[in-house]
Structure 1
């Protein structure tokens, strides 16, 4: 009878010094980037809780100053703040919904159909999205005046479509291209029309992409300032309202109140990102890896 004896060999691995150094340097780089990105926001939060008189006394004295909620109370007491929030919500949601409707149909056509001039259209969309706002401001102002949409949220919504539609079409087209063609073929075999295929088959699959595109477009519309300042005089959006905050005199700028208002209007965006973070990651990474 043979006896087979098993011997376990322990393999010792040594970590190279270069690997450790690279890991340390990478960690330090991440910390520096995080500090660079988060420090302005953290400083703004701290400033919003400090008295206005302590802001210009230097960092040490400002940090030693007492914390207070007076700045937030003054912001909530300002009647134009609520009106600005309402106008921003209406304009941003309107622009996002219209851009998503147009973007879905355009992305389906550009992503799934072959036709002459398709590549040119895609490059034109990309070029339009890169145009600076100031380049189209005068012509757009004339159009809005002639359409009698000045100081009208509808006019501001249509002006925002200049940058929300190209962005939505470009992102959604990249997503639609990665949807398997077998889904369309199965729908056509069942007698579905192209419109039915889009609404009943393609659209449900585009959920993560729609959330990602809509949220990013909403953030751009929510923070937009130039068009809102130019096309609105009474029904101003919240960025213009905050920028026009005035102090006790024309020579005083209430920085503490501005910081408090800025934090308040940023909180909804942070909450939306936290709620839809899984959809955002899924929408941004879709199509990156092909199975």
Structure 2
């Protein structure tokens, strides 16, 4: 009787698991299908892209679209600019966000929580409202049409949320860890560098990746602050393949694939750091 009574529960459990896996499969297909279309379209000749009926795989594979991207467009220079801007934004965001986040998490002063919430208001302001002010500020400090100017403007997007993320990450670390380090002879700065930051490493890595991603695909600020190929980023260069009367979809898809590859490489490189950060640091052993 007991075995008979358990069968319906087991059947329900299997049904629930199948439902979960089916839902995950649907989400995966829905997410990966546009990427697959983008990748395979980048290898199609221009005359095959709009054939009826449409096909996913190319009938004739070609690298002409990638040759066009790397030889007849400004995409190579734009990619270099995007990498430089993204790294600058990640570095500046982590430096400023970690300093501000630590102060908000550890230093007790009146209105600390209000200041934390006020910082988040920067995420609520529409970016278009800040365009004129940012444009005039970047011009005033002499960084107009430069990768440094674009990076400084992108801090408006990344710094508020990263500061809040790091503040919560540090607040979750026991203060006794710093006290133990200072008892052993460390200064407060040394305690933060060698005791707190290794424990907060995964959170800092996630915050740095968030800042890099936000800078990598940002279009509005870069389109306003750049005027030449020396500072134009990859999302802006992507518009070169669209003219008034025609769009080179093959080259556009090839450029989109090229834009995606650095993100995949960054995630693969970051994964090892995340594992080391979770298993190492001051709490090891």
Superposition TM-score, scaled by structure 2 size: 0.87
Q: What is aligned with 2:151?
A: 157
Structure 1 position 128 matched with structure 2 position 122:
yes
Runs of 4+, deviation exceeding 6 Å: 281-284
Structure 1 position 236 matched with structure 2 position 232:
yes
Structure 1 position 103 matched with structure 2 position 103:
no
The 1:207/1:32 distance shift into structure 2, 3 A limit, reads same
Q: What is aligned with 1:219?
A: 213
Q: Is the 8 A contact 2:41 2:58 kept in 1?
A: no
Q: What is aligned with 2:163?
A: 169
Q: Secondary structure at the match of 2:186?
A: coil
**How many residue pairs were aligned?**
273
Deviation at 1:278, TM superposition (A): 5.1
Cα distance per residue 1:89-111 (max 9 Å; x no partner): 11111111011111111111112
Q: Secondary structure at the match of 1:14?
A: helix
Deviation at 1:18, TM superposition (A): 3.1
Deviation at 1:88, TM superposition (A): 0.8
Structure 1 position 271 matched with structure 2 position 282:
no
- Give me the CA root mean square deviation: 2.3
Deviation at 1:186, TM superposition (A): 1.2
Gaps of 5+ in 1: 1-9, 285-291
What is the distance in 2 between the residues matched to 1:43 and 1:270? 17
What is the distance in 2 between the residues matched to 1:213 and 1:36? 27
Q: Is the 8 A contact 2:89 2:151 kept in 1?
A: yes
Q: What is aligned with 1:287?
A: none
The 1:192/1:260 distance shift into structure 2, 3 A limit, reads same
Largest Rg, 1 or 2: 1
Gaps of 5+ in 2: 279-285
Identify which of 173, 184, 187 aligns with 2:181: 187
